[in-house]
Each structure stands twice: as structure tokens, then as C-alpha cells.
A and B are shown apart, each in its own frame.
Chain A
Amino acid sequence: MAASSLLSRLLPMRDDRGSSAFFVVLLAVAVAVPILHLAVPEGSALHLSTYTVTLLGKYLSYALLAVALDLIWGYCGILSLGHTAFFALGGYAMGMYLMRQIGSRGVYGDPVLPDFMVFLDWKALPWFWHGFDMFWFAMLMVVLAPGVLAYVFGWFAFRSRVTGVYLSIITQALTYALLLAFFRNEMGFGGNNGLTDFKDLLGYDLQSSNTRVALFLCTAIALGLGYAASRYIVGSRFGRVIEAVRDAEARTRFIGYKVENYKLWLFTFSAALAGIAGALYVPQVGIINPGEFAPINSIEVVVWVAIGGRGTLYGAVVGALLVNYAKTVLTGALPEIWLYALGALFVVVTVFLPQGIVGLLRRKEATA
């Protein structure tokens, strides 16, 4: 008893069985998927198609987005209904790099300008497209664009002590405003059509099997690292402070914590994680357009986390994977009922399983 309580304090993870399971499964998947795709012959029942590898990579990027949301919602009570805005910004930063890689292979063959700019009769690259031909710069922007936006947004919102529903509403407004802005051709992000027709990344053909597997692996690694960083944060004293903010914000101030700063840094970190998820998503799905900013997308992320079980991190991963798998199956079979199914699932889970699916497992464990 004494030894285990000491151990639980030394380890940054208070109940880390779920997290351990997460890392084991992630490692197994990261090893198995490339083998099943590259080494198992195509005729075999065990062979994974390129389509499946890409689909799994997409799910993992969603899982990282869900972890980012759980960090602020589950642990700090900040219900962001605009988190896909950060995901989309990271995606656009990656998309801009991929557009510049096309070079003269575009339909119009302009060596510098992406096709949509030629089509709009633009003569020169807008200033904010400069630098995106360099991979390192684009990767910096993947983190900085969402990070800086989150910082500025949070700076105003948290200092004026906007909380609860009001905060959720302004996060929706934020993503909606970006949706409208990115739809406009004059913004210079490809308008309605967004950015697409990507050819290669760092010289590797995006259509090739090996590149697909590499992207999948990068996503798995990013998810693993993002999860580990998040786990460190929530297991540290910082994590206990943000939980205190979630449960009794005013009280936390009275023992000397500048709550605004805690929220601000957590929110910014979470947005940067979402941006990384978006950057990994885009080369796998092959397109980024303003639809990614749609408010409904952000709400869907909240539903994944709620269904999986918030405040555990691994619950967010479980929710993201299960719901998106269900979505793939359902939208294939009965596309029109997907939103209703999602809504119903959300209601059922919040009413009957307030701790989500992983809460159910933990309860079983406790009673067993």
C-alpha cells in the first residue's frame, strides 16, 4: 500500500493502465500496419490496401486532435467548440508547402504560382506564401499559425475571464469567421476549392505505397509523442493546478495561481498539437479546404471525446477511433443518417455513460 502510493506519486501518471495500454497498442499497430501492407502479398486476406493504410493514418491524426481537445476540456474545463480551426490552420500550412512543391507540374505550368493564382490572374506570390517552399519553414508555421492564434485569442478571452458557455460560443464564432474568410478567393488560400492536386512531399511521391506507410508512421509517432507530452503535463503539478481551475477556478486564484496564464499556455499548447494533427492529415487525404473550419466539425471532436471518456487522454483516442470508424461504415451505407446517429450516440453516452466508454471499463474493473 505504502509502496504503491509512493510509486503512484513518483510516476507522473496517476492511473496509467489505460495509458500503458495505449502505448502498447500504438506500437503494435505501428509495426503491424507497414508489414501487412508491404510484406504481405496483395492476394492474401491479411493484406492491407493503400486505402486502409491511409484511412488508419487519418484516424490517428484525428486521435491526436482529440487528445488536444481532451487536454483543455477534460482537464481544465475549457470547452472549445472551435478546435478544428487550429487543426485546419496546421493543415493549410502543410498544404501551402505541398502546393509549392508542385512547381511547374501544375495545369498552367507556372514555376512559382499555384494553379488557382494563375486562374485568378495573379502576377506574383502574395507575401504570406513566401517561405513555404522550404519544408522547415512550413513545419514551423504548422505549429506557429495555430499557436499564435490561440495565444492571441486566449489572451483576450481568459484575461477578461470569459468562461463556460460564453467561451464555447466565441470559439465557435472564431472557427466560423475563419471559414468565411478562407472561402474568399481574395484571401489567397484557394477559396472554395482549397489546396489540392499535391504531387510530392520532400521529393517523395505522395501516391506511392512507401510514402503512405511513412506518413502513417509519422502520424503514429506524432500521436505517441503528443500523448506522452500531454501525459507529462497532466501528471505534473501543472496538471493538478489546471484540474483545480476546472473544479474551483476562483479558489485557485486565492491560493496564488494566475489562472489566466495557466489557461493561456495550456490552450496554446493544445492548439499547436491540433495544428500538427492537421498537418499530418492533409497529405494523407490529399486536400484541405475551408470545409475543415465548419463549426460542426469542431462539435464532432467534442462528441468523440465525450463518447470515449474525457479527462483520461486514452478515452479521447478510443472515442476518436470508434466514432470515425462508425462514420466510415455508416456514411458508406447510409450517408444521410450519420449526423442523427452521431447525435443519438452523444445523447445516449452523456445520459447513461457520463464517463464515456472508458468509464464503463473502469467501472467494470472496480466492481470485479
Chain B
Amino acid sequence: MSVMSRAGALFDRSRVFDFLIEGQPPPALDLKHNVILYLEGITVSFDGFRALNDLNLYIEAGELRCIIGPNGAGKTTMMDVITGKTRPDAGSAWFGQRLNLLNMSEPEIAQAGIGRKFQKPTVFQEHTVFENLELAMAGDKSVWKILFAKLTPQQRDRIDEVLGIIGLPDLREQRAGSLSHGQKQWLEIGMLLMQEPELLLVDEPVAGMTPQETERTAELLVSLAGRHSVVVVEHDMDFVRSIARTVTVLHEGSVLAEGSMDSVQNDPRVVEVYLGE
């Protein structure tokens, strides 16, 4: 952001500053209508190029949704909007009935219960596998609590359990930076589990994984659905077919088609987009 626009923002009276609303606890997640995520009319432009163009998407509580679409369709940008990384030019984004994501900072969104696995695995390289999981662990993340935080036996057990789920129990003291690409993917999934989010956003989880690992990831994601809501972005069609109930096809920043895998694959517009590549 340039200095001028930042200065301009200071005098913008319609703006509510984060620090003015700080202190009040955010309202709890409200799933009265059984919808956990509302994206309506989301538009994001980068220098005039519309990465998202009037995007509408609704995710039901407990749902496992796959998002597919060619490279550059705007899938990652959509996740950036949901997690507060990118602010849209237009539209609204709600988490449940009451939480306006567009008014929340990244940590507030994370604390409210949205966890994310990045497309490019980003773990804390200098920390051990164990410490990565410890950092991600759900709980009070305010400065004073963390300064004096001690792991309880239950928390330690939970970390051990997740280490087992992601298949890295022997590497717990290993520097995360020394892991292979696939292991980093798993570690990031483990971090996501530690956060105990209501909504999981998973960006291309199986890139760089072996077929067996891919299968295990599929099982894990399916087992999470129900108690959590899961949104998965993936290119691997076999993988999508193995887990998806509902598939949303994104193209040029908006939804092109939505439905079961079969109906979507037979949709002529979808065929055109994928074959026309």
C-alpha cells in the first residue's frame, strides 16, 4: 500500500479500525442455517485483472467440497480472501451467520476457526516437527498466556496423536526445514489438525505425494468431514473423484458449474474449459 493511500485510509470515516473494536470478544460462530461459509459477489482485481469476478459460493456445515479449475482460475485467491490475506474490492464474506470475515484480521479469522493449508507448504523451517505442531495448537494465543504456557499431558498426547496421524512420530525432533516436500505437506496437515478449526481450507494437498500418501490423505479428509467442514482445492482428478460429493468448478474467477463429479464432468462448458486449455 502506498503512503498516500494509507494516509487516505486514516481519514476515511467509514472505516472501523481494528484497534477500536479490539477488546470485545468476537461473536461465536452461529450455524443456525447450517451454512458455515457465505461468499457473495466477491471481486478481486490485480491491476485491473479480475482474479475473482463476482464469485458466489456457499459451504454447508460438515460438508466436504472440492474446488477444481484450471491454473489461474482464482482458487488460491479465493482462499486468500477467506483467510484475510487479500481484501476484495467488492462482495461479502461471512463465517456462519454472524462473523463478517471482511472486518477481521488474519489471526482473528484463524482464532474464530478457519484453518488453512497453503498450496506451497509453509512450515517453520527452523523449528522442529514437534514445535511446529505445538505452535499451531488451538488455545489462547495472547502474549502473556504464551509466555508462561506449559504443555499439559493432554496437549502432549494430542501432539503425539497427530504425529501418528501424519506419520512423522520418528521425526518429531527433526528440523522441519530438513523434511522432504511430501513430509512438509503432511506436517502442514498436522498443523491444521492441531488448530482444531471448524472450517479447513486445503490448497492442493497431494502435490508431491506418492499414490499411497495420496490415498491416506483422501481417507483423512473424508474422516474429518462431518465434524468439520472441509474445502479442498485439487488438480488431481482421481483424488477429487475419490473424495468429492459436491464439486465446484471455478473458471476465470467465477463459478462455472457445481454438482456431483459426474454431472460436472459431463457439463459441456466444463469440458470446453478443460479441453480448450
* A interface residues with partner B (beta carbon < 8 Å): 5, 159-160, 233, 236-238, 240-241, 243-244, 247-248, 250-259, 261-262, 265
Contact = CB atoms under 8 A, between A and B. Distances in A.
Given A159-B18, A252-B135, A256-B195, 15 more contacts: A233-B147, A237-B135, A238-B147, A240-B127, A241-B135, A243-B127, A254-B83, A255-B135, A255-B136, A255-B191, A255-B195, A257-B107, A258-B107, A261-B142, A261-B143
A248 B83 contact: no
Contact of B141 (A5, A236, A240, A257): A257
Contact of A243 (B85, B105, B124): B124
Contacts of A258: 105, 107, 141-143
A237 B127 CA distance: 11
B124 A256 contact: no
Contact of B146 (A159, A237, A253): A237
B17 to A, nearest CB: 9
A238 B141 CA distance: 9
A335 B57 CA distance: 70
Contacts of B83: 254
B196 to A, nearest CB: 11
17 contacts: A159-B19, A237-B149, A241-B146, A243-B126, A244-B124, A244-B127, A248-B122, A248-B124, A250-B85, A253-B106, A254-B85, A255-B195, A256-B110, A258-B105, A258-B143, A259-B107, A265-B143
Interface of B: 6, 18-19, 83, 85, 105-107, 110-111, 115-116, 118, 122, 124-127, 131, 134-136, 141-143, 146-149, 173, 191, 195
Contacts of A236: 146-149
Contacts of B146: 236-238, 241, 257
A272 to B, nearest CB: 15
Contacts of B122: 248, 251
Contacts of B135: 237, 240-241, 244, 252, 255
Nearest to A8: B173
Contacts of A238: 143, 146-147, 149
B4 to A, nearest CB: 14
Contacts, number: 77
Contacts of B124: 243-244, 247-248, 251
Given A240-B131, A250-B85, A259-B107, A5 B143 contact: no
B110 to A, nearest CB: 4
A76 B148 CA distance: 18
Nearest first, the 5 closest Cβ-Cβ pairs linking A and B are A256-B110, A253-B106, A238-B147, A237-B149, A256-B111
Contacts of B143: 238, 258, 261-262, 265
A211 B220 CA distance: 69
B110 A240 contact: no
Given A233-B147, A247-B126, A253 B107 contact: yes
B173 A5 contact: yes
Contacts of A252: 135
A36 B19 CA distance: 56
B240 to A, nearest CB: 24
Q: Which residue among A159, A238, A251 has the maximum number of chain B CB atoms within 10 Å of its CB?
A: A251
Contact of B110 (A5, A243, A247, A254): A254
B131 A255 contact: no
Given A261-B142, A262-B143, A254 B116 contact: yes
B134 to A, nearest CB: 7
Contacts of B19: 159
Nearest to B122: A251
Nearest to B130: A9
A237 B134 contact: yes
Nearest to B111: A256
Contact of B125 (A241, A247, A254): A247
Residue of A159, A254, A257, A265 contacting most chain B CB atoms (<10 Å): A254
A253 B131 contact: no
A248 B141 CA distance: 17
Nearest to B192: A255
A258 B131 CA distance: 18
A145 to B, nearest CB: 22
A256 B131 contact: no
B148 A255 contact: no
A8 B211 CA distance: 37
Nearest to B124: A244
Contacts of A244: 124, 127, 135
Contacts of A250: 85, 106
